[in-house]
Amino acid sequence: MPHPQGLLAPEPQLRYDTIFSSEVVAVICVCCRPNERGCGAPEAAVGHHVVIPHHGVFVKHIGRTQVVANPATVVLFTEGREYTVSHPVGDGDDCTSLRFTPAVLNEAMTGVGRASRFRDDAPFDSLGPAVAPAPRDLLAARKLRRLSSSHSSALGVEETALALLRTLTGARAARRVDDDPRARRWAVDVEVLLASRPGHRWTLAELGREVGSSPYHLARRFRAVTGSSIHRRLVAIRLAVAAERILDGENDLSTLAIDLGFASHAHLTTAFRSAHGLPPSAWRGDAMRESA
């Protein structure tokens, strides 16, 4: 979630640290530890924010729209637009918030054929409240919290942040094709379940019982609402969590694989390479070198 300078009423459990600031972007680490799982007080961002969740799950409520934030997504916050946040799992969240300068944001949003729909006061409206970038595009951005707080060059931080902004304009926004409120509720509930227990070996029948749907209708409606199959979303979440844990120093990749529901170290390595273009060991090495 955006840092307290971007809230109407800062909550005491919300901590932030601006670890980098330049004429291009500010990078803010945000730690939220809620007192309860339900929605907190209404908030409104000051400035437009691109938020990268690292740990935990939260749901952003904008009117009747609900967006599940987890490490496989990027959540967008528009200046002045009121929302509330809930934490259905109860553990809080850790995120990196990127606040680009207006000139940079304007150029990025109008430079990809969106000029007719771009508004200075609501630049993300054409993208939606959340975006699911391709895994390899999101991977580099995960390192921003380490790059910004290390001795890495400002140039490297800025280019990494801009690369994410550039890929967001072409990534798939969170869809709401199916207008059935029940289908939207199923999709949100399933995403919360997947993100809160990524290592569980879910089945359609089990998910259906959890959310009150038949397996057939759940699979069909989830795809209609999100544009993704449930299995693909689960794998994306598992790989995102794996990347975060490796970045945090996880060394035992065999244990990591089993924890996240992969059959073996080899299974994790194959899936990670397919999604990101490199094996987990190389990702860890790159992150260590760049933050040194």
Which pLDDT value is given to residue 265? 94
Phi, psi angle pair for 223, to nearest 5° = -65, -40
Neighbours of 229 (CB within 10 A): 12
Strand, helix or coil for residue 243: helix
Which pLDDT value is given to residue 147? 73
Write down the pTM of the prediction. Answer: 0.87
Which pLDDT value is given to residue 133? 87
Q: Spell out the alpha helix ranges (H) of 69-175.
A: 102-110, 135-141, 144-149, 154-168
What the chain holds in terms of domains, given with CATH numbers, is 4-173 (2.60.120.10), 181-290 (1.10.10.60)
Which pLDDT value is given to residue 4? 44
pLDDT in tens, the chain (292 residues): 554 444 333 454 888 899 999 999 999 999 999 888 888 889 888 889 999 999 999 999 998 899 999 999 999 999 999 999 999 988 899 999 999 998 898 888 875 544 445 567 788 887 888 898 888 889 988 888 887 655 568 888 999 999 999 888 877 665 555 668 899 999 999 999 999 999 999 999 999 999 999 999 999 999 999 989 999 999 999 999 999 999 998 989 999 999 999 999 999 999 999 999 999 989 878 766 665 5
Strands of 25-32's sheet, edge to edge?
14-21, 25-32, 93-100, 49-56, 74-77, 130-132, 172-173
